[in-house]
Structure formats: structure tokens, C-alpha cells
Amino acid sequence: MSALTAVSAVVTAYRRIDATLTTLGRLRDCLPPPDEILVHVDGNETACADAIARHFPNVRVLLSAECVGPGGGRNRLLGEARYPLIASFDDDAHPIDRDYFARLIEVFRAYPEAAIVTARVFHLDEAVEPAVRDARWVADFCGGASAYRKDRFGTAGGYVPIPLAYGMEEVDLAMRLHAGGGRILETPWLRVFHDTDRRRHGQPTVTAATISNIAVLASLRYPVAMWPVGALQCMNRIKWLLTHGRRQGVGSGIAQIPSEIRRYRQYRHRLSSAAIRSYLALRRHPVTAAWPLRTEAA
């Protein structure tokens, strides 16, 4: 099959068995469906893996004995996927439109320079808006609602396998991709529903991780001259957390910074100051992309 006619769909799962089965059902019911579906089950959650095998025997299941986080799971999934276009979903996220994969292929055909295409995400507490034939070049993407060109993902080096990767996972890959000349396209013509109210973002362990992960990112990618920028980003995050009443976890997040930096130092590959500043500028000012497709939204 051509690189522009076949799609692998990959899902990262952990303990949410019912949500995972719902997502797999939605993927299977798309028209056309993806050419293959793979699921990574983290943390040796065999009950989840067994449930998938019972209900979806044609789905390929990868099981990790230890927690490698969503990034580590996606590394395995993209390594095992057979096709050059790979659509990625969280276990509680799925396409809204049944022709999602047909649209995805058309977008990649229309934008051959796109290394990643990221969809518009709607959560439980948000009204689902109509699909819009529009696109822009952006700095960041959502790992559970995006699609990759497999070769460019490999060139960028994949994800750092942090179990709680909030604030680190996609940002790190996006930054390295940007430094290498890769581009990320965001389009609301692709829509994904994320079945969560985001309350888990307020858990103390998540609060702590969002602080230490900023420091880890700076230590891995920023040249020494830009470490003050990383320190300022940490302080801004702490200020935001305190302002929004998320005090539990702030102290432990600060305290765990040295150990987390040591834990992931083998992944260090510092980027140039120019590349980082360019990435941050694109984050502030996305660039509108011409829309060449004539296909009508459903």
C-alpha cells in the first residue's frame, strides 16, 4: 500500500478498560477504518490486555511490564506499526467524524511538509463545534489526537519515557522536531472527542510532575545560556498552580527536580538557542496555512 493510502491507528492504554474498549469500537466503526489498530498497555495491566484480546481479536496488543508512560508506549507502537501514516489516540479519545481517516490521508497529501498533523480536541465540558476547513502551522500538538509520518518521528528521536509526562512529552518532541526543520499542522477539519473532565490534572502527583518536567526539559534541551528561561518557566508554572488553588504537590514537585534531572540525563541532547527561541516564537504566533482541499466537511 502507498504511504498516502494506509494508516495505522495506535492507542495508549493503562487501567481504563471500558474507555479503551469504547475507543477501539469507534476506531473499528470508522469508514474507512484504519488499516491496522495497535494498543500499548502500560504497567503490566494484564486485565486490560486480556479484555482487548477478547473483544477485539484483530487488534495487536503490546504489553509493557513496567510503567513507561504514554510517550514510552507510543515509542513502541510507532516502532511496531506497519504503515507510514500513524494516527495516535489516548485510551479515552476517539474520532468524532466517521471519515476521520479519509480526511487524515487527504490532509497529509495536501501538506507533504507536515511531519505531524494535530486535530481539534473537544472535552466533556465543551460543546462540539462544526468541522472547519482551515489549518495553521503551530509549535505544539496533542499526542492523543495527532498523526505522524513514521519516518520523521524516528528522525526526531521519539519520546522520553516518563511515566507522568505532563508538560514534557509532546513539548520535548515538538521542540526537537522544530529544531530539525519539521513542521506541525493543526486543523479543526479533524475532530477528536476526549472523554474526560480533566479533573485528574488537579491530582498532587500531576501537579508535582508538571513542575519537575519543566526543569527536566530545560536540562535536556536548553543550552546553559538559556537555563534562566527554564527557571522562569518553572516559576510561572508554580505561580499558575498556586493562583488556581493547586497547592498540594507544589512542594514535592520542587523537591524532586534534582532527582528527576539525574534520572533522565542519558536523554540529554541540547538544542541551539536560536532553535528554541524560534520554537517559542511560533508558539506565540502560529502561521496560517493555505487550505487547498475542496472536500466538503460531513
**Residues 241-253: pLDDT tens digits?**
999 999 999 999 9
Mean pLDDT of 257-267: 96
Provide the pLDDT for residue 165.
86
Same domain, 251 and 180: no
**Residue 189 falls within a domain, yes or no?**
yes
List, for residues 63-76, the tens digit of each pLDDT value. 999 999 999 999 99
- C-beta of residue 18 within 8 angstroms of C-beta of residue 55: no
- Among residues 23, 8, 9, which one has the least CA distance to residue 195? 23
How many domains does the chain divide into?
A: 2
167 has pLDDT over 90? no
Indicate whether 119 and 249 sit together in one domain.
Answer: no
Could you read off the pLDDT of 27-50 as tens digits, one per residue? 999 999 999 999 999 999 999 999
Residues 212 and 173 in one domain: no
For residues 113 and 205, state if they share a domain.
Answer: no
Q: Say yes or no: 118 and 149 in one domain.
A: yes
Residue 297 has pLDDT above 70, yes or no: no
Element (H, E) at 258: helix 257-263
Instruction: Give the pLDDT score at 1.
Output: 41
Residue 256 within a domain:
yes
Q: Do 217 and 147 share a domain, yes or no?
A: no
Over residues 211-228, the mean pLDDT reads 96
For residue 162, the one-letter residue type is I
The answer to whether residues 149 and 79 belong to one domain is yes
Let me know if residue 274 belongs to a domain. Answer: no
Same domain, yes or no: 159 and 262: no
Q: What is the pLDDT of residue 198?
A: 64
pLDDT tier at 270 (50, 70, 90 boundaries)? very high
- What does each C-alpha distance from 33 to 24, 121, 142, 265, 294 come to in angstroms? 11, 20, 21, 40, 22
**Structural domain containing residue 235:** 201-267
Residue 27 lies in a domain: yes
